[in-house]
Structure 1
Amino acid sequence: MNAPASSGARIVVARHIVTMYAELPRAEALAVSNGRIAAIGDLAEVQAAMAPGTPVEELDGVVLPGLIDAHLHLQRAGLKALDYLGADDGVDRYIDAMRESFDDDGPEHPPFADRVRALVRVQPLLHALGITGVVDPAVTIDEMRGYQETHRRGLLTMRTLAMPFLDLGTAAFPDVDAVIAHLDGTGVSTGFGDAMLRLGPIKVYADGEALKGQALLQEPWNASGYRGLQRLSDEDYERLVLWCAEHGWGVGTHAVGAAAVDLVARAAERAGDAVVPLRFQAIHAYLETTPEIMRRAAAAGVIASLQPSIIWHNGAGLRRAIGDRAESANPVRGWLDAGATVAFGSDGPFFAFDPRHLLWQAVTRRVAGEAEPLSLREAITIHEALAAYTTGAAYAAMAEHERGALRPGFRADWALWSHDPLETAVDDLRQLTVLRTDVGGRTVYTRET
């Protein structure tokens, strides 16, 4: 990894800057001071806001806010990088290696030292894709220790919201009461931490995987009447949600099918005012979720944490399993129209995690192995897709007041792209290149020429 550059005050000038800030969508220059954006606008305005003689750095490219992957298993991604990459392998080889090792979940009980090594190895690979932050959606106790130690050593360059995962049904956490007792004894809750490492909502499962026929649907999967797998009873799930809401814990729920998302919506409606500040999430939420369910979940404040990668991989299999019922899978347009905050993630490294590919997928609705896209009624624009990776994901990461856009006072997390995704032909999105990435005004990745 490149040594971080100085974080001293400077002015950055680019071909143009995409701010994702509605009051100033485009800019010419931005000033960085003390890790934050001190000014942004045209060059003369920015220079006038800074001390005379502030260095000016001219860049050949387009500056975008740092992307935030709202559903990426960062530490596990790093452990797989240790297993599959050589010392000199970069992001292109990493992408290929993760696709080739799709069925390998990585080591289950790695040595603790490997957890730190894994994070140090994988961070620059993801910075090379313009990613400056992640929400890790299922952090075990051992993984949390790994994050904490990496942060303590000053080696964490990826801003991370860690969602604690207490695996219900195991010997350690046999039931909801055991989970509640553990959370009650920690003395912390959602939001604890700092700008680099923060606790998010807990992660729970309402149903299973769609390709295994486990998504909990309102209509039967087939003539047998089977509607899917319910991992938690209605009573237990709602009891856990209400306890969490009362005690400062958000809840992110793996809910693939419509009936599971409906359960999330009902519990969130009961949880009331706690849902928004604690960032309750419906995770995946992509199979036969009706407009009414989406509207109710959105009205209750539930974030739609969606992954274009999953439908890219699973689309063909769903068509074989349920035919035309698969066409509306991953209803991003539906969630946006319902008024939900949509946060894009990848479920990497187990699914495709290259944001260029996933921006393209969300716009085209193409799926692997199929000549025809899924129904374009659920397609979105490239601007909406980019917003889901920036402003929407920042909201899911509890950072909407300081990340996801480039505006005065926000953290100087940005990436230099070869071209502007918003002005690129859709089929060329996957060929764009990230040239440099900064986190808090410090350069954490530079593309070698």
Structure 2
Amino acid sequence: MATKAATTVYRPHHVITLNPDAPHAEAFAVRNGRICAIGELAEVLAAVPKSTPVEELDGVVLPGLIDAHMHLQRGGLKALDYLGPDDDVEAFIIAMHDSFDDDGPAHPPFGDRIRAIERVQPLLHALGFTGVIDPAVTPDELRGYRAAHARGLLTMRTLAMPYLEIGVPGIPDVDAVIARLDGVGVATGFGDEMLRLGPIKVYADGEALAGQALLEEPWDDAGYRGLQRIDTTEYERLVTWCASHGWGVGAHAVGGAAVALVVAAAERAGADVRGLRFQAIHAYLEPSAEAMRRAAATGVVASLQPSIIWHNGAGLRRALGERAETANPVRSWLDAGACVAFGSDGPYFAFDPRHLMWQAATRRIEGEERPLDASEAISIDEALAAYTTGAAYAALAEHERGALRPGYRADWALWSADPTTVPIDEVRSLIVLRTDVGGRTVHRKENP
């Protein structure tokens, strides 16, 4: 991992900034890990000392991507099991696809957690990622992240969402969760630029392919509507307590009725919801237009994963017929005004952002020639924004990450071409040539 001089000017073929006020640039300068100037080359050179070196880059620079739903540490543990020491990210992608049903070791030695973090970070940096939101962090996983950070090994900016599973020994109910949270003396937002606490993670319903997503309309003629995993009154009580004590809540809510429950509870919790980055996680099976509008108005982030509908789409077609065609309604979430943050639920589901941006734009699903209804398709530009500005907002980092602009952290990736302008089917074959996190180069590959 290389550290650059105090100030360096970079001049790639093009810069996509994700700054709506200046979406494109010719060059940018980095000083002490932050962007200090960006714009036309002459403007950048005028803003730095005359002796500042200029580095030419053979490719297109994008802001570093943020996976808003990535089980980073678990992915690393699986990488230890399935990869050799010289295997690269393409081998990792294949290995995780082929081991889909393996959740990895449940209780690994603590040292393996550190090794796992070290192993998986370079693999994800090779896809242009500079940050993740880990959506269900157990106490052991949090200890792993803290130890890696203390040893200077954490190169992936990580927002850790604590997971206290209701119903297990020691945490029988909502009161036990509240007692745990009330006793730690910290809350959402605690940490630093590399490791920070996010909202807590809870489950409002179950998995869609298991027929457990909680729907407004029944799954079948028997009237079965899915599985509600927490009582409405108890969920509302937890949400209200969390909001008033500085904790956000990210709720697994696949089905439309679960999304409605989550949104209604957030509305009752009041103005603190927006700042604490409450999330409706997954939210892909028949959320109503009204629920999406109310979520946006309340400040609930739509944490969506194109990977899940890629994997589940064919099965949902078999289970729900035409009702499945509008599954994962990203277009509708955006049109409702919601902040959409893209993630993957990796390493279990597909996590390659090139593939997932392509999926969101094409609505293609695994194993089928016919795409899902194109009315819910979005553009690559919108998909890229969901991986950058949207995910940065979900990660409590919208004022320093997700875009390239003066004062922001120098988290960026050099791509072989511009994913927003190449033909759609070429997006999946683009190459990330270099990734920098705060001015440190954490991935480098030669342009073939």
How high is the TM-score relative to the length of structure 1? 0.99
> Aligned ranges for residues 20-39 of structure 1 at < 5 Å?
20-39=18-37
- 1:132 maps to what in 2? 130
- 2:43 maps to what in 1? 45
Match of 2:92 among 78, 94, 103: 94
CA apart distance, 1:287: 0.3
CA contact (8 A) 1:7 1:442 kept: no
Match of 2:163 among 162, 165, 170: 165
- 1:416 maps to what in 2? 414
Q: 2:341 matched to 1:343?
A: yes
Per-residue CA deviation, residues 185-234 of structure 1 (Å, 9 max, x unaligned), is 00000000000000000000000000000000011100111100000000
CA apart distance, 1:8: 2.2
Match of 1:233 among 231, 235, 239: 231
Alpha-carbon distance in structure 2 between the residues aligned to 1:47 and 1:156: 32
> Aligned ranges for residues 268-307 of structure 1 at < 5 Å?
268-307=266-305
Alpha-carbon distance in structure 2 between the residues aligned to 1:136 and 1:387: 19
Give every structure 1 segment of 4 or more consecutive aligned residues whose post-TM-superposition deviation is greater than 6 Å: none
Amino acid at match of 1:304: A
Per-residue CA deviation, residues 48-69 of structure 1 (Å, 9 max, x unaligned), is 0001110110011000000000
Alpha-carbon distance in structure 1 between the residues aligned to 2:20 and 2:287: 30
Match of 1:79 among 77, 80, 86: 77
Amino acid at match of 1:288: E
- 2:141 maps to what in 1? 143
Alpha-carbon distance in structure 2 between the residues aligned to 1:268 and 1:416: 39
Partner-residue secondary structure (3-state), 1:422: coil
CA contact (8 A) 1:115 1:143 kept: yes
Alpha-carbon distance in structure 1 between the residues aligned to 2:149 and 2:4: 19
Amino acid at match of 2:41: L
> Aligned ranges for residues 246-257 of structure 1 at < 5 Å?
246-257=244-255
- 1:222 maps to what in 2? 220
CA contact (8 A) 1:11 1:55 kept: yes
- 1:180 maps to what in 2? 178
Match of 1:363 among 361, 364, 372: 361
CA contact (8 A) 1:135 1:162 kept: yes
Alpha-carbon distance in structure 2 between the residues aligned to 1:398 and 1:265: 20
- 2:153 maps to what in 1? 155
- 2:187 maps to what in 1? 189
Partner-residue secondary structure (3-state), 2:322: helix
Q: Which runs of 5+ in 2 are unaligned?
A: none
Q: 2:52 matched to 1:58?
A: no
CA contact (8 A) 1:7 1:35 kept: no
Amino acid at match of 1:185: G
> Aligned ranges for residues 424-443 of structure 1 at < 5 Å?
424-443=422-441
Alpha-carbon distance in structure 2 between the residues aligned to 1:8 and 1:70: 31
Alpha-carbon distance in structure 2 between the residues aligned to 1:387 and 1:264: 24
Alpha-carbon distance in structure 2 between the residues aligned to 1:208 and 1:179: 20
Alpha-carbon distance in structure 1 between the residues aligned to 2:99 and 2:307: 16
Aligned length: 447
Alpha-carbon distance in structure 1 between the residues aligned to 2:5 and 2:386: 28
- 1:207 maps to what in 2? 205
Alpha-carbon distance in structure 1 between the residues aligned to 2:426 and 2:9: 30
Alpha-carbon distance in structure 2 between the residues aligned to 1:207 and 1:4: 45
Alpha-carbon distance in structure 2 between the residues aligned to 1:119 and 1:47: 38
CA apart distance, 1:7: 5.2
Alpha-carbon distance in structure 2 between the residues aligned to 1:255 and 1:84: 31
CA apart distance, 1:298: 1.1
Per-residue CA deviation, residues 381-433 of structure 1 (Å, 9 max, x unaligned), is 11111000000000000000000000000000000000001111111100100
CA apart distance, 1:4: 2.5
Partner-residue secondary structure (3-state), 2:2: coil
CA apart distance, 1:270: 0.4
Amino acid at match of 1:157: T
Alpha-carbon distance in structure 1 between the residues aligned to 2:93 and 2:170: 35
Amino acid at match of 2:342: F
Per-residue CA deviation, residues 254-288 of structure 1 (Å, 9 max, x unaligned), is 00000000001100110111111100000000001
CA contact (8 A) 1:333 1:378 kept: yes
Alpha-carbon distance in structure 2 between the residues aligned to 1:61 and 1:371: 33
Q: What value does the CA root-mean-square deviation take over the aligned residues? A: 0.7
Partner-residue secondary structure (3-state), 1:136: strand
CA apart distance, 1:6: 2.6
Alpha-carbon distance in structure 2 between the residues aligned to 1:82 and 1:160: 20
CA apart distance, 1:290: 1.1
Alpha-carbon distance in structure 2 between the residues aligned to 1:152 and 1:180: 28
Match of 1:392 among 390, 393, 413: 390
- 2:328 maps to what in 1? 330
CA apart distance, 1:172: 2.1
- 1:402 maps to what in 2? 400
CA apart distance, 1:9: 1.0
Q: Percent identity?
A: 72
Amino acid at match of 2:308: I
Amino acid at match of 2:318: R
CA apart distance, 1:23: 1.2
Amino acid at match of 1:163: M
Partner-residue secondary structure (3-state), 2:320: helix
Amino acid at match of 2:249: V
Per-residue CA deviation, residues 92-142 of structure 1 (Å, 9 max, x unaligned), is 100000000000000000000010100000000000000000000000000
